[in-house]
Structure formats: C-alpha cells, structure tokens
C-alpha cells in the first residue's frame, strides 16, 4: 500500500470509530486527540481494526506512533508495503 | 364495607407516584401510539430472521435511536442501552420536570432485565470464528457491553446522572421488579427521582429463540400478527420481542410541590418464588403473590378493575395463571382481564413495564383493551371477565393489577391506582 492508500484506510477506520466527527479538515500533522473526540478505547479500536482488516499486529509500546495521521502513516508504511 | 387503600393513610412522603412514561414497543414509540394500536387491535409482531435460527417471528421496535444518542455512543454501546436511553429521555420529557436544574446526584436508575450480555457474546464469538478463534481479535468493548449494569449505566452516561444505577435481573418479572425497586429506593430516601422499569434486546440473541424452540415453546404462524395468541386453544408458544418502558417515579410530596401531572400511584406490590421448577409455573404461588399485593394495598379482589395478565402463549403458563386468577378473582364480578403480549409478543425484561403502560390509558379513557387472537378459547383459560378480541368499555377504572412472572419461579404483581387529588 502506498502512503496515500494507507491514509485512506485510516480515514475509513476513523469514519467508523468517530461517525459524528467531520474528517474533511483533518490536519495530518496535528494529533488526532486535538481534532477529534477520541479516548483510549477509540485508539484501541484503531489497533483492533488494523488487526482485523490487514492482520497487522501493533505492540503496545508502539501505540504512541498512532498519535497523528502523519505519524501513523509513517509508522505503518513499512508494515503495509506488501499489502 | 370495603376498606380504603392503605396508601390513603400514608404521608405524602411515603406515597409513590408515576409522573412520566417513556417507551419503545413493537406497536408504538410512545404511550399514545401504543394505546391507539391496542384499542384498535393492531399487532406489532412481524417476520424476522436471525443467524442460525433463520426465519422466525418477533416484536421489533423502530424508535429513532439517534433522537437522544450520538452515533458514536450507539456504536460503543448495546441495543439494550439504546432502548434504555430512548425510554429514559422520553420519560423525563414526559414528566415535565426541570431536568436542566435537577440535582442529578439524587436520581436513581433501576432497570429490570431478563438477561444481558448474550447478544454481544454471540456477536463476538461469531466474529472470532472468522479469525480461527484467536482471542487477540476479541473486542475490548466486550466487558463494558456485557456487564450486568450496562443498560442502566449507559442511561447514566447519556443523561449525566450520578446517583445510583443498576439493573435488576428478574427473568420476565423484571419490568415489575424495576418499578418495585424504584419505589423502595424513593421510600428509603436513596433518591428523589427514580427512572425505573425494564428493557429488552432479546430478539438480537439467536440463543433465546433456539432455546425456546428446543423447549417446544417458540410460536409459529403463517400470519405473524396471529402468532401471539395467549388463551387460544391453538397457541403454540412465545413470540420474542424487544422494547423498553421506563417510568419517572417520585414521592407524592415532591410531585405535588412541582405541580406534576400524576399518571398513577403505586399502591401495592409483591414478589415471591415458586421454588418448584426451573420453568414450569406454580398457580398456588402466583395466587399468593397477587393476594399479598392486594393485602399490601389494603384492597380486596373486587376492587381491581383490570388485571393485566402475564400469559405468554404457552400451554402450561396460560392455564396455570388462569387457575391462579380464578383463585383470587373468582368471586369478583367487576374485574376484567386482558393480555398485551397478544399484540406485541413477549418483551422479556420490558414486558411487565410495557404491559402496565399499555393499560394505564384506561384511567382516562375507561376502556379495557382486549386479548387478541382468541379464536377458540381454551377451556382451561376461561375467565368470566376475560376481554376477548374487542376492547370493553368500563365505567371508571380505579385500580389495575399487573402480573409478571418468570423462569426459576419468580413472581411479581404490581397494583396502580388512578390518582385523584
């Protein structure tokens, strides 16, 4: 998957997790939590959906890599390159 | 000389009244809709399909989940929670209370449930099969969705209520049990306003259908609207329904102070246990339950205008309840009997509360709605005052007794009096 496709995949997951939020103006370099109503259970949802949809296992110590869209795409790019 | 009801001798602080009702029923999303459909003989049962069981029948609700609940909250929660949130908000609106300024540390939530957690557990196991039963794919939402207090807790979160909240597990007597719990907590000063009643999400668990089918107690009929037929000789079981009904209950002193409209007063109740069988009812204990509710209210059987029966459409359940009714009301010429499950099916944890609500309109319109689908009355269910297929106009309805019984021999009866100041 190219970084743009990974971004779309993340947006798709966020759309399910935060259906009441508008994702059109999401800034990639700003933390999700500063832009969206997300709590720790929501971040676990992101981890779970990546696991279910793409069979990607993210260790707990790496959860902080999912802070913003930019950091998430950077972190996932090598893992999803072959998908 | 008939003794006056005991509630008249109590101070207003110890008298508990209903000041608001919110409901989601297969035949109505508020009390007026439900009442109109009951008086016009309109069933809320329809075709339904659920995994593994396939085509069956159910009482399905179509209330607007989004009316009071954001999509994200709904996604995180359960159907029972969603039913509860809708009903609780509707009840508070109906009560006319100044909710914005009400001290929510003094609001208690008491929700009757038949079961909770089956729906989410079944869904998770079903999903897990797609991942070769690797529990790494088991949802972190499973525990908060399946804890027994979930429906009550979701109401508290949605409405920012910080008083006590919990569910009362009482099989199919749960709706009445919720009401009884609410009244007791008000009398104990544990809260100033109780949101009480019952909810059910049971149509979303295949297990309840499959278990009733294995027991030979799941209704079937080519016409869904004819499937729920208590007291009819051709009844063949239960139609499972979802729904909810929650009441705003207050002490009479508080209700009077704020000039609330009062929909009825809870003047008597009783709960007891058969201790004889897991599923089969016990007429003697049911009769005792009703009699003790009458005793608590200081009433005699002849004073009850309407008995809202529990009958579910099973052979044994219906005939045993009728035997109990004959024992208590056999000499009463003014008591009439009806059955709301014949319209909506068996709403499990919500059943008692919903069926009572369906009858409360009789305080104002003076009509006892019917038991529908009785084409051929089972002689074992013959009662002098059984209102069959057409509603019956009564002169004035002063007292309603509402029966709700459940598995493991749990029995409940609640008596509501028409309120007059």
Residues of A in contact with B71 (CB under 8 A): 19-20
**How far is A37 from chain B, CA to nearest CA, in Å?**
10
Q: Which residue has the tokens 């059987």?
A: B301
At B2, is the pLDDT very low, low, confident or very high (cuts 50, 70, 90)?
low
Distance CA B81, CA B79 (A): 5
**How far is A66 from chain B, CA to nearest CA, in Å?**
18
Looking at residue B153, what is its pLDDT?
98
What are the φ and ψ backbone dihedral angles of B180, each rounded to 5 degrees? Answer: -65, -45
Q: Which of B128, B132, B140 to mutate to test the interface with A (most CBs of A within 10 A)?
A: B140
At B4, is the pLDDT very low, low, confident or very high (cuts 50, 70, 90)?
low
* Residue in A19, A41, A51 nearest the CB of B137: A51
Residue B20, pLDDT above cutoff 90: yes
Per-residue pLDDT, averaged over B310-330, amounts to: 98
Q: B141 at the A interface (CB within 8 A)?
A: yes
Per-residue pLDDT, averaged over B84-101, amounts to: 98
Interface contact A41-B71, CB threshold 8 A: no
**How far is A14 from chain B, CA to nearest CA, in Å?**
11
At B3, is the pLDDT very low, low, confident or very high (cuts 50, 70, 90)?
low
Interface contact A48-B139, CB threshold 8 A: yes
**How far is B137 from chain A, CA to nearest CA, in Å?**
7
Q: Which residue has the tokens 């996932």?
A: A76
Residue A36, pLDDT above cutoff 80: yes
User: Cβ distance B242 to B354 under 8 Å?
Assistant: no
**Could you count the other beta carbons within 10 Å of the beta carbon of residue B40?**
10
* CB-based contacts of B310, cutoff 8 Å, min separation 6: B172, B317, B321, B341, B351, B352, B355, B403, B404, B405
Largest separation between any pair of C-alpha atoms in chain A: 32
Give the pairing of strands B193-200 and B336-338. Answer: unpaired
Instruction: Provide the phi-psi class of B72: left if phi over 0, else alpha when psi is between -120 and 50, else beta.
Output: alpha
DSSP 8-state symbol, B137: G
Which of A58, A1, A70 lies closest to A32, judged by CA? A70
Residue B5, pLDDT above cutoff 80: no
Q: B76 at the A interface (CB within 8 A)?
A: yes
Q: B129 at the A interface (CB within 8 A)?
A: no
* Residue in B72, B140, B141 nearest the CB of A20: B72
* CB-based contacts of B368, cutoff 8 Å, min separation 6: B305, B306, B336, B338, B359, B362, B387, B391, B392, B393, B394, B397
Which of B26, B41, B49, B132 lies closest to B371, judged by CA? B41
User: Cβ distance B305 to B415 under 8 Å?
Assistant: no
Query: What helix, strand, coil percent values describe chain A, rounded to 5?
Result: 65, 0, 35
Residues of A in contact with B140 (CB under 8 A): 41, 44-45, 48
What are the φ and ψ backbone dihedral angles of B48, each rounded to 5 degrees? Answer: -155, 150
Q: B126 at the A interface (CB within 8 A)?
A: no
Give the pairing of strands B243-251 and B264-273. Answer: unpaired
Helices (H), B16-149: 31-39, 71-76, 79-95, 118-129, 142-146
Which of A10, A13, A21, A17 lies closest to A72, judged by CA? A10
User: Cβ distance B271 to B411 under 8 Å?
Assistant: yes
Interface contact A20-B70, CB threshold 8 A: yes
Distance CA B296, CA B180 (A): 13
Per-residue pLDDT, averaged over B199-209, amounts to: 98
Q: Report the share of chain B in percent with pLDDT over 70.
A: 99
Distance CA B60, CA B54 (A): 16
Distance CA B123, CA B204 (A): 9
**How far is A12 from chain B, CA to nearest CA, in Å?**
15
Per-residue pLDDT, averaged over A11-26, amounts to: 96
Bridge partners of B392? B368
Q: A51 at the B interface (CB within 8 A)?
A: yes
Residues of B in contact with A19 (CB under 8 A): 71-72, 75
DSSP 8-state symbol, B395: S
Per-residue pLDDT, averaged over B111-138, amounts to: 98
Q: What is the pLDDT of residues B362-393, one digit of tens each?
A: 999 999 999 999 999 999 999 999 999 999 99
The dihedral built from the CA positions of residue B312, B308, B342 and B381, taken in this order, carries a sign that is: positive
Helix (H, G, I), strand (E, B) or coil at B185: helix
Distance CA B206, CA B217 (A): 14
DSSP assignments along A37-83, one per residue: ---HHHHHHHHHHHHHHH-----GGGGGGGSBHHHHHHHHHHHHTT-
- For chains A and B, CB pairs below 8 A equal 24
Interface contact B71-A19, CB threshold 8 A: yes
**How far is A78 from chain B, CA to nearest CA, in Å?**
22
Bridge partners of B265? B17, B417
For chain B, what is the mean pLDDT?
Answer: 97
DSSP assignments along A16-46, one per residue: HH-TTS--TT--TTSBHHHHS---HHHHHHH
Structure token digits, residue B144: 């908060």
Q: A41 at the B interface (CB within 8 A)?
A: yes
Q: Report the share of chain B in percent with pLDDT over 90.
A: 97
* Residue in A20, A41, A45 nearest the CB of B71: A20
């Amino acid at each position: 998957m190219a970084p743009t496709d990974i971004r779309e995949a993340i947006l798709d997951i966020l759309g399910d997790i935060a259906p009441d939020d508008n994702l059109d103006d999401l800034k990639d370099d700003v933390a999700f939590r500063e832009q969206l109503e997300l709590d720790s259970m929501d971040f676990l949802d992101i981890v779970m959906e990546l696991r279910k949809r793409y069979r990607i296992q993210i260790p707990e110590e790496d959860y902080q890599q999912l802070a913003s869209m930019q950091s998430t795409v950077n972190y996932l790019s090598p893992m999803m390159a072959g998908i | 000389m008939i003794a006056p009801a005991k509630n008249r001798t109590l101070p207003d602080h110890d008298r508990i009244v209903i000041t608001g009702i919110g409901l989601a029923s297969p035949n109505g999303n508020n009390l007026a809709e439900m009442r109109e459909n009951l008086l016009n003989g309109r069933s809320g049962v329809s075709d339904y399909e659920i995994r593994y069981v396939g085509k069956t029948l159910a009482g399905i609700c179509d209330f607007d989940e989004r009316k009071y609940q954001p999509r994200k909250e709904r996604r995180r929660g359960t159907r029972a929670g969603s039913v509860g949130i809708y009903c609780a908000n509707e009840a508070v609106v109906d009560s006319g209370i100044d909710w914005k300024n009400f001290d929510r540390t003094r609001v208690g939530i008491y929700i009757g449930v038949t079961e909770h957690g089956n729906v989410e557990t079944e869904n998770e196991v079903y999903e897990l099969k797609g991942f070769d039963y690797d529990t790494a794919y088991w949802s972190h939402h499973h525990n908060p969705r399946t804890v027994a207090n979930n429906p009550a807790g979701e109401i508290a979160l949605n409405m920012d209520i910080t008083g006590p909240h919990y569910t009362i597990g009482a099989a199919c007597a749960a709706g009445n049990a919720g009401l009884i719990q609410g009244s007791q907590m008000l009398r104990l000063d544990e809260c100033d306003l109780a949101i009480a009643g019952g909810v059910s999400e049971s149509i979303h668990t295949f297990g309840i259908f499959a278990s009733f089918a294995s027991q030979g107690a799941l209704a079937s009929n080519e016409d869904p609207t004819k499937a729920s037929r208590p007291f009819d000789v051709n009844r063949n079981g239960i139609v499972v329904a979802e729904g909810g009904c929650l009441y705003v209950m207050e002490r009479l002193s508080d209700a009077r102070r704020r000039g609330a409209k009062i929909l009825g007063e809870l003047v008597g109740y009783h709960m007891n246990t058969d201790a004889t069988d897991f599923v089969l009812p016990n007429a003697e204990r049911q009769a005792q339950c009703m009699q003790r509710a009458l005793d608590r209210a200081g009433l005699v059987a002849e004073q009850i205008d309407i008995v809202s029966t529990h009958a579910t459409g099973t052979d044994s359940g219906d005939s045993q309840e009728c035997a109990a009714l004959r024992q208590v009301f056999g000499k009463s010429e003014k008591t009439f009997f009806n059955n709301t499950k014949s319209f909506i099916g068996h709403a499990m944890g919500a059943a008692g509360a919903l069926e009572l609500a369906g009858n409360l309109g009789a305080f104002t319109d003076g009509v006892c709605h019917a038991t529908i689908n009785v084409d051929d009355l089972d002689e074992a269910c013959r009662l002098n005052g059984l209102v069959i297929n057409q509603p019956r106009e009564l002169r004035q309805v002063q007292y309603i007794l509402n029966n709700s019984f459940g598995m493991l021999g749990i029995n409940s009866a609640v008596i509501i009096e028409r309120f007059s100041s």
